[in-house]
Each structure stands twice: as C-alpha cells, then as structure tokens.
Structure 1
Amino acid sequence: MGKIPSNKRQPKKRSIMLKWSFANMIFCFLVFTIFVIISYQSSVLYFLEGEKDGLVSVVDSAAKKLETSSDNLTPDNIYKYLDYQEPNVLDNLYDEAGHVIKSAEAVGIPGVSWRSFQVYDVSGQMIFTTQSSSIPLANKKSTAPVIVTIDNQSGYITTREIKSKKTGQVIGYLQSFNNLEFYYNIRNKLLFILIALEIVAMFLANFIGYFVSNHFLKPLSKLYAAMKKRTYSPSSEFEEVEIHSGDEIEELADVFNQMMSKTHDYIEGQERFVSDVSHELRTPLAVLDGHINLLLRWGKDDPEQLVESLEASRHEIKKMSSMIQDMLDISRLKQLDDFITEETVVEDSVTDLINNMKMIHQTSEFTFEDKLDDPQAKAQINQNHYIQALTILIDNAIKYSGEGESFVKVTLSENDKHIITSVADRGLGICEEDKAHVFERFFRADKARNREIGGTGLGLSIIANIAQIYHGSVSVESELGKGSVFTLVLPKADLK
C-alpha cells in the first residue's frame, strides 16, 4: 500500500529579514552598550580628575600665600595673607561658642580661583571660610584629596598643614571640601541620556536593518520564487531570472539560470526522445507483429514465406537498432560539456576520413580542396565528434547521389574566427520548401525515395546538435536535380 501523505502542517519558518534585523539590533545594542560604558566611565574619571586637580591647585595657591606669615594665623591678621587691603572687607560670622570667623563669601579671594576652603588656627579653630560653612578640621596633617560624606553631602576633602617659611613653625591649617553634588547630577543625567540614546539607537538599528535587509534580499526572494515555481512545474517553459544586484546573488542567479536551462533541455530531450521512440517505432513494430502473426498462422510451413518474413523482420530490427542508437547519440550530445574545450587538427582528420571512405566506396569519386593558410589549423571540437559529423555528411552525399556515379567534394577554408568545412555532391538536391526542415529529427524530404535509400532521418539532427554544442552552425544550399552543399562552421581553437 502507498504511503498516505501527512496533513500535518509544516512549522512556519522565520523570515531571514527578521533574523537579520534582530541580529543587527543585538549587534548594535552590544556595540552601543560598550560605547556607553566606555564613554560613561571615561567621562566620570575625567571629571573627577579635573575636580581633584582644580582642588589641589586652589589649595596650593592659598597655602603659598598663608606660608608668608611669621605669626600664627588669627581672625585679625588673616586678611593680610590673602591679599585683602583692609580687614573690614570680610564679613564676621560666629560659631556656637562665639568665636569670630572671617567670611569671604561676598567678596571672594584675590588671585585665587573661587573654590570652597577654610583656614584654621593652630588649635584647630576655624578663623576663615570662603562661604558660610561650619566644617570642622578633619586632620592636622597634610592629606591628599579623598571623597568623604559630611552632613549627607559627598565631596573631595584635603588638608594642608601651614608652616611659616620664615620660622618653620606650624601657624595654622588649610582645609578644602569640594561638594560633588553637581557632578553627581551631571553623572546621572549623562547616564540617563546615554541609556536613552542606546534604546533609540537599538530600535533605529532594527528599523534600518529590516529595510536594508529587505532591499538586499529582494533579489534572493525573486530567486526563491523562481525556484518554487520550478519545483511545482518542472516541465513548464523556463524563464530566466533577471537579477542585476552586482553581487553574489546575481552570480547565484546566473548559475541557477544555467542549471535550469540545462535541466529544461534535458527534460525536454527526454520527453522528445520518448515521443519520437513511441512514434517512429510504431511502424517497424507493426511490421514485425504482422510477420510474426503470419508465421504463427501458416507462414512457418511455407519455406519461401518463412525466409521472406525473417528477412523483413531482420531489416526492421536493424532499422530500429540504428534509430535507437542515433537517438541515444543525440541525447548524449546534450551532456557533453566536458568536450567543448578540446581541439582538432581538421586537415589531418579530413584526409584520414576521405582515405577510409575511398576504401569503402570504391565506385565514388572524392575530391578534397584545402584552402587553409595553416595546415595545423585547429577547430574547437572533439575529434570524434568532428569525424562523426563529417561522416554523416559524406554518407548522405553518397546515398543521395542518384543513379549515376556518386561525387563528393570536401572543402576546408577559414576566416578570422572560424574553420569552415563544406561537403558538396551532385545528387538529387533538396527543394526550397524542405531546406528549412532538413535538420529536424526524422525529417525526410522524399518519403518514397527514402524508403529505398534507408536511414533513420536523424543524421543531420545529430550534426545540428554537434554544431550547437560547440557554438558553431550548419547550413545547406541545394537545388533539385543539381546537388547540395552542406557547410559546417566551427570556432577556431586559440593559437598558443
């Protein structure tokens, strides 16, 4: 029993465009994520280093001014070492214990870029501040900038021990606290912007990737449609897929066109072969069947009829065998791509063939006219195929020579690109109406006359196929009662 085809639906395959756009989105996401991380970390480090360097620069500048004092730093003399002209320029602030703190919040500090710092006396009591601040002295030793949190505020803090350049004694302390709240706000905003850009870029990459892949894969879709059409109707007329993308898809389409063209020719050849065989073998098989039935009924008892039936049967069998062999030769020629690069020295081949023909047909007259400039001129053809084509032409010239002595003239000539072989006879000739069909399979101009001559009607068709395979041509010029001239034109082989 035959296997019942399954009705189970095949799983739907995902579009390559969606796969491509998704892959493109993932790729862009990863690349942009790396870019965001690097950009974010680089910006953070760069900003922090800038803040640290600025803080150190300001502290160093202020410390140099304060180190010029030979006395301990106090609220009363601090103004002199910070380049203020008068003490009343600074505002007075008071801490919880009532100690005076000079403030420069309103006027700034001459010669020092604005930055928050405080000055303390030798006991650690704050005596000066650049702004309203009550930050206690964190350390009485010089420290490098570090990030700390004071009153829920994070920032860099650094301390300098102030020593008088004149006495070498500690006269006070300098401390700076740089609030990084602004930096953290910028950092958060930068992170938000980079993530937002990443999301936008990801969807934009997906969108662009889809349309770009759609554009580039359109030729592939066209090729797929053509393949699918050929799958469902392989014997239909083949139409070439025209793709001009200028890339590998175009090359793939060219290979597909060549493959399908050969496949179509092969299928067409097989169908024609079956059709021709069934049509042409019908008559000889009917003749065989008639003679066998005759022998079975009474012919086997009549010696004369027995011999006649056996001879007729043998003749039909030889005819069928020759016909099948010729049709097989035509079918094989369609698959001989490996031979198209072979070369043949035509003069030697023609000379050998004519000498052989003279031995076989001793009553025929043969003439060979050589017009080649180079006796070693080569045609782009396999030698066996060239001899096969020439043999068919000479055999036909002898067969159709009429009642008198047969005459065959072979002429070799050339032009810039081709080797030209002509076979002329003085036989029956071909009428204008039939000349257009002589290279078709099984075509025979004079049916009654051909039954006497014999043959299968496939010889000239074989020559036409040989000429087509080697990118040449074959033609005929003929006049009834005056003979025919068949001309085979083949490409010259490249001279090395």
Structure 2
Amino acid sequence: MRFSFYDKDKKRKKRKRLSLKWKWTVGATLAIFLTFSIFSFAIFVGFRQIMFTQEEENFREVLFGATSRLVDENKITDSDSTSLSKATVYSAFNPSYFPDIMELNGEYDQRNTTFEDSGNYEDTLYAKMNEEDVIVRVYTPTPRLLFESKLGDFSFEESSEPVIKMIDVNGEEGYYGVAPVISDETQQIIGYVQVIDGMSDYHNMIEVTLISLIAMSSAALIFSGILGYFLASNFLKPIKNITKTMNDLRQDTQSTSRIEVVEGNDELDHLSIVFNDMLDKMQKYIEQQKQFVEDVSHELRTPVAVMEGHLKLLDRWGKNDPEILDESLSASLQEITRMKSLVQEMLDLSRAEQVEIHYKNEKTSIKPIIQQTYNNFQMIHPDFVFNLDDDINEEVYVSIYRNHIEQILIILLDNAVKYSTERKEVHISVANDDREVQIAIQDFGEGMTPEDAEKIFNRFYRIDKARSRHKGGNGLGLAIAKELLSGYNGTITVESVLDYGSIFRITLPIYKDDI
C-alpha cells in the first residue's frame, strides 16, 4: 500500500513535537543559568576561603597576642615567675579596671567580673577578645582557671606546644587553641591561654551570602528563561517567515509572497535574501515557460492554419489541378520553413534565458570576434559599406561565451542590413574603460518611432508585421539578444529616428579573475 506525501505530512502533524522555539528557549535558559551558577559557585568558594582565612588570622592574633601580652605584663608586675597571677592577667587584659593592682583580693571571683564589663576597646586585641563568640581563658600551670572572658563549657587540655584545631561549637564549625605562656627569664611555663572562636560572623556571613546567591540564582533562572524565549523567538522569526512563504507557495505556485528581510546582516538574513532570490528565479522560469508555450502556440497557429487551408483545398478539388497543387505545395513548404525558423529561434531564446545556469565564468577576447564578424559581413554583403572604428588597443576579455557574443553581433548587423534603405552603410564602433566594453552598431535605414523603440525588444514584436514577415523576421532576434546580454549582466539600448536610421548600443562587463 502506497502513501502520498500528503498522507505522510498529515501523520507528521499528528505526532506531538516540541517546538524548536521551546527547545532553543530551554537550551538558552540552561546555558545562561548554568554559566551564572558556575561563576556564582566559584565566587562563593573564593569568598568563603577568604573569610575562613581571615577568621584563622584573627584567631591566631587573639591566641598569640594574649600569650605575648601576658609575658610582657609578667615582667612589669615582677610577680612570681613560676605562675601567672590574677593581678597580672587582669592588668594585661584590662589595666584600667583596677587603679591599684596591689589592692586585688585573692578571693576575687573572676566569673562575676568578666572582660565584657571592662569597656576598654582602645586596643585591637581587646576588641577581638570582646567579640560575641570568642572566649579567652587563662590557666595556671596546675592548671587552675585564672581568667575567663565569657562563660562557656569547654574542656581544657594542657600542651607544651601551641595547638590549633577545629571543634564543634554550638553545632557549627569553630576554632579551638591552646598556647603555653613561657617566662622570658626562666623559660618555664607559667600558664596557659585557651581561646575558643565560634566564628559566628563567618557563619552568618556565609549563610547570608548563600541565601543571596540562591535568591539571585532563582532570579537568574527566571530572567534567563525570559531572555532565552525572547532570543529564540527573535532568532526563529526568519525561519518562521520562510515556513510561511513556503506554505504560501505550496498552495499557490504563482504566489508573490516573499520573506521580509530585516537588515541584520547575519546568517539568517543572508539565508532569507538567498531564498527570496531563488524564489524570484523560480517564478521567472515558470513565467518564461508559460510565456514560451503561449508564444509558440500563438505563432504556430498562423502557419498551421495556412497549411490546413491548403490541404483542405487539395482534398476538395486541387488534386487534379496542377496549378492549385503547385501553389498549395509551395505555400505549405514556405510555412514549414517559417515554422522551423520559429522553433529554432524559440529554442535559442529558451537557452538565452538559462545563461546564468550553463555559462557562468565564461570569457571571450572581444577584438578577434568583432574583427571576424566584420569581415564575414563584408564578404556576405559586398553591396554594403561596413566601417569599423576600433578604439581597443590591447587584448580585453569580456564575461560572455564566444558563440553568444557572435550571435548578438549577427542579429544586430543582420537587422542593420535588412532594414537599410537607399544608404547601404553600417558603422561599427568599439571602445572600453576600466569596467566594461561598449559596442555601437549604426544603420541609416528605416528607423522607428519612440513608441516602437520602447517595444522593439519584446518577443514577436514587429513594427510592420507584413513587411517584417516578408523579410523573414519572426520578431525574436532582439529579444534573444537582450536575454543573452541580461544573463551576462550586459545591457542593450537603441536610439532611433524614423526614416533616418538607428543606433544599437551594447555594454558587457570586462572579465576579471577572482583574487
């Protein structure tokens, strides 16, 4: 069982398909969103590392700064060198709290008077020790707790070397550090400094940053979706126009529908321009074919009717009449000759319309072909005077097939001879510039009116049909010449004055090699 293309097309339409616009939208959205997410993640990781490094530096500064401060203060107070005292610790961390260190009561409870009560923030170390999540403790070598900046439930581990590690602080990552306080005089451990940093600022900042990035990613997803849809719609608009144009042509092959081209100077605009040119050429070929059939039908109607009339005449009574038989056969043969000539010219015209397809990049040296055609007509028409004015001093190539330029020259010179009157003289002139070659052919014959000059290149147009037919013309010579020249980007024009002659001017582009 066979299916037509129409049935297949209907089946394709029944299938559910995802529009190319939505494919592009999803693709563009994911591409933009993933790009944003990757960059955001990289920035977040870098930012977190910087914050983490800064927290570590602050922690070390508190731990080792407090240790150094206690060592220096121990020298000043000249206390027992074997162990730190409360007076030394409070003097080191808050010298303004006790006006007289010596009045400090040994039974003083440090847990009721913490570092938060001091109010001394002039020193950077003090400010960092007073941060909300930082706890600083000072122990004797025993160890016995001498000082606690804030209350906290953390165990203490003695160590003769500084120890810094990560611990869990209230369910989050934090720093824990212990450093011994070594006397400069005895080089003995006189105490310990313990620092716990919950890194609340770090965690809060990371949390805020992460929430902000998630919010921005959500916004970016929505924005990229809108942008992707807009880009897809914009990019696919020419393709949508192409589809619409093709559907118009599928419904009506003679449709003049074309793709609207916006001067965006991109690949899709170039595709639209090429597609429009292709449609113009296709429509031109269709119209030419239609015109060809109409012209042939019209022109063959007369000779066929003439032959039919003579054959009917012979069939009725002319068979036995030698005179009628001879006249009918002669007329029929003449019409057959005309038909052969007409068919050949129509074939020439059809080939001329397809020059762009079959004869691209042809080139011909113009001087030899002009000289040859000039010599041939001098030989064929010895009763005419042919003058050649050649202003080309070097070899010049024109963009045309040799046989075609020869055919054009023969058509123009043959018309010049055919329509000359008493003054049997034809002038040929050739010149060139940097871009093109100009050829002019002038006769001094019948000439034509301006109205006729406008129509002379139309198919089958004859100024005086009876006289033109008597001279053997079908009205296709100049149409063939114009089609040939048009195919090679050349031109042909005419200047004529009735009863004084005509000048036909043609131009052809000079052939230039592609660099």
The interval holding the TM-score normalised by the smaller chain is 0.7 to 0.9
Aligned to 2:473: 455
Structure 2 residue identity aligned to 1:104: F
Match of 1:350 in 2: 370
> 1:57-456 to 2 correspondence within 5 Å?
57-67=61-71, 69=74, 70-75=81-86, 77-80=88-91, 82=93, 84=95, 86-87=100-101, 103-107=114-118, 111=123, 112-113=125-126, 114-115=128-129, 116-149=135-168, 152=171, 154-215=173-234, 217-219=236-238, 221-237=240-256, 241-293=260-312, 308-337=327-356, 339=359, 342-362=362-382, 364-370=383-389, 372=391, 374=393, 376=395, 379-401=398-420, 407-414=424-431, 416=433, 419-431=437-449, 433-456=451-474
Deviation at 1:159, TM superposition (A): 0.8
CA distance in 2, matches of 1:91, 1:151: 33
Shift of 1:36: 2.6
Q: Matched residues in 1 for 2:158 and 2:316: separation?
A: 138
**Identity across matched positions, percent:** 30
Alignment check: 8 A CA contact 2:413 2:441 kept: yes
CA contact (8 A) 2:482 2:491 kept: no
Q: 1:420 to 1:49 in 2, by over 3 A?
A: closer
The Cα of 1:191 is off from its aligned counterpart by 1.0
State the SS of the aligned residue for 2:168. strand
Report the Cα distance in structure 2 between the residues aligned to 1:291 and 1:92, rounded to whole angstroms. 152
Higher helix share: 2
CA contact (8 A) 1:105 1:132 kept: no
Aligned partner letter, 1:351: Q
Bigger drift between 195-204 and 335-344 goes to 335-344
Letter in 2 for 1:435: A
Q: CA deviation at 1:194?
A: 0.6
Distance (Å, rounded) in 1 between the aligned partners of 2:106 and 2:429: 123
- The AA in structure 1 aligned to 2:83 is N
Structure 2 residue 94 is the aligned partner of structure 1 residue 56: no
Residues 428 and 264 of structure 1: CA distance in aligned 2, closer, same or farther (over 3 Å): same
Whole-angstrom CA distance in 1 between matches of 2:331 and 2:18: 68
| Cα shift readout 1:378-434 (whole Å, capped 9, x = no counterpart) | 5554332222112112222333346x7x82413204475654434344544445553
Larger mean Cα displacement after TM superposition, 111-120 or 171-180: 111-120
3-state SS, counterpart of residue 131 of structure 1: coil
Gaps of 5+ in 2: 75-80, 130-134
Deviation at 1:190, TM superposition (A): 1.6
Counterpart residue identity of residue 38, structure 2: I
Deviation sequence 1:17-48 (CA, Å, 0-9, x none): 44333222211211122123222222222222
Q: 1:23: which partner in 2?
A: 27
Farther off after superposition, 110-119 or 231-240? 231-240
Q: Which whole-Å CA distance do the structure 1 matches of 2:105 and 2:384 have between them? A: 138
Q: Which amino acid aligns with 2:33?
A: F
* Aligned-residue RMSD, C-alpha: 3.5
Deviations 1:232-278 (A, max 9, x none): 33323466744312333332233233222222221111110011111
Deviating more after overlay: 419-428 vs 276-285: 419-428
2:397 and 2:307 map into 1 onto residues whose CA distance is 47
Cα gap change, 1:240/1:35 in structure 2, threshold over 3 Å: closer, same or farther? closer
Distance in 2 (alpha carbons) for counterparts of 1:29 and 1:442: 68
Number of residue pairs matched by the alignment:
487
Q: Structure 2 counterpart of 1:210, which letter? A: Y
Q: Which runs of 5+ in 1 are unaligned?
A: none
Q: TM-score, normalised by structure 2?
A: 0.82
